[in-house]
Amino acid sequence: MTNVAVVGSQWGDEGKGKIVDWLSERADVVVRFQGGHNAGHTLVVGGVTYKLSLLPSGVVRKGKLSIIGNGVVVDPWALLEEIERLRQQGVAIGSETLRIAENASLILPFHGELDRAREEARDKANSGGGKIGTTGRGIGPAYEDKVARRAIRVCDLADEAVLEQKLGELLLHHNALRRGFGVDEIDGGALLERLRQLAPLLLPFAEPVWLRLSELRRAGRRILFEGAQGAMLDVDHGTYPYVTSSNTTAGMAATGSGVGPDTVGYVLGITKAYTTRVGSGPFPTELFDADGDTLGERGREFGTVTGRKRRCGWFDAVLVRQAVKTGGIRGLALTKLDVLDGFERLKICTAYNLNGQTLHHLPAGMAAQAAIKPIYEEIEGWSESTAGARSFVDLPAQAIKYVKRLEELVEAPVALLSTSPARDDTILVTDPFAD
């Protein structure tokens, strides 16, 4: 028995929700370890659809403990709204089933305002082409305050004197920024009162979760670490600066929840059978033709949280292989194979061409990332349906050939294969918890 970390191996939106839900039934504890409420999962359990942003996927299952780790930046009002929405759907959420790291940093209302103001300024300064593509929810500015040692943390809500002092110091910085953007300064007194009212609602969930996790691990409980976004949005290893503001690779599971790196035994990388991306930034295999439109339509490629249309392209084995190496991925959960049904020919990116030079990795430089061209390998498609297959025996021979070729190219085996949004339409090759 081992503990499992689930991470995205592309640009996010790989279908983690279904896989995490499938695994959470086998886990005792589900931990969210990075990101904010800019990422989302859609779960379908017992015919009921749940949309989650901050809450770990375990909350919809009875008997599971859900933990929001210190690596997450928490918008407390968004979290409470999400809790209430799920309660209205019949999900029992209380302090006995949900715990929040007392040292997690908070997203405050002005973080989102700054996020949006910056995007507008970038857009104007670069004639409409300068946006990073953030969701405007304040994730980046909140992480900035955390790293700059001026963030308000969950534990600060318990000490009014400390809260008032820290808020005053924080506003010195943010009001100066707002003046530069021509935005009204923040009313510190009004915000302090909102935080006072928030304290009794949020603090019952707070605790040193690192200590709880240590005890759970010693007791032999199965822990599932749930990431957000994907490897190519990692602030260090992704397509910088078109990335998120946290580390999205599996190493963050330890840092973002307060456990040792040896706690994570198996890293499962969620990988779509083609490639999608939301927002700005390089996308070597992006399609602007009928094939791209077909992928988007069949795959229902719209964001869970934002509703933004996703850009679509062929499978990029270079990116996924890089994610395997930087994230320590031991097995893949390949999703949306059924979206490729009916294509006569499929393409797989096996390398890049950069000004006549062949590359087998994504270069770090911004200009190089924008200039690379995909080198494709073509493979025959299949006309039969893979939708709903629950065994490799049910798959067309060409679909199996496609899966095996992806394994060779990315240098990692497929542990799970998803053939529809339905939870049970999953082919299990390797049980990550039993590995």
Which residues participate in catalysis according to the annotation? 13, 41
Write the DSSP assignment of 199-251 as a string of letters. Answer: HHHHGGGEE-HHHHHHHHHHTT--EEEE--S-GGG-TTTSSTTSS-SS--STH
Helices (H), 16-95: 16-24, 76-88
Angle CA 58–59–64, to nearest 5:
60
- Name the 3-class secondary structure at 379: strand
> What one-letter code names the amino acid at 67?
I
3-class secondary-structure state, position 406? helix
**Which amino acid, 281?**
G
SS3 call for 20: helix
Respond yes or no on whether the N-terminal peptide bond of residue 241 is cis (omega within 30° of 0): yes
- The answer to whether the beta carbons of residues 195 and 176 sit under 8 Å apart is no
Q: Give the Cα-Cα-Cα angle 323, 325, 326 (nearest 5 degrees).
A: 65
Say how far apart CA 323 and CA 321 lie, in whole Å: 5
| Those residues with Cβ within 8 angstroms of residue 275's Cβ, 6 or more apart along the chain or in another chain | 10, 11, 283, 285, 312, 313, 314, 315, 316, 319
Give SS3 for 44. Answer: strand
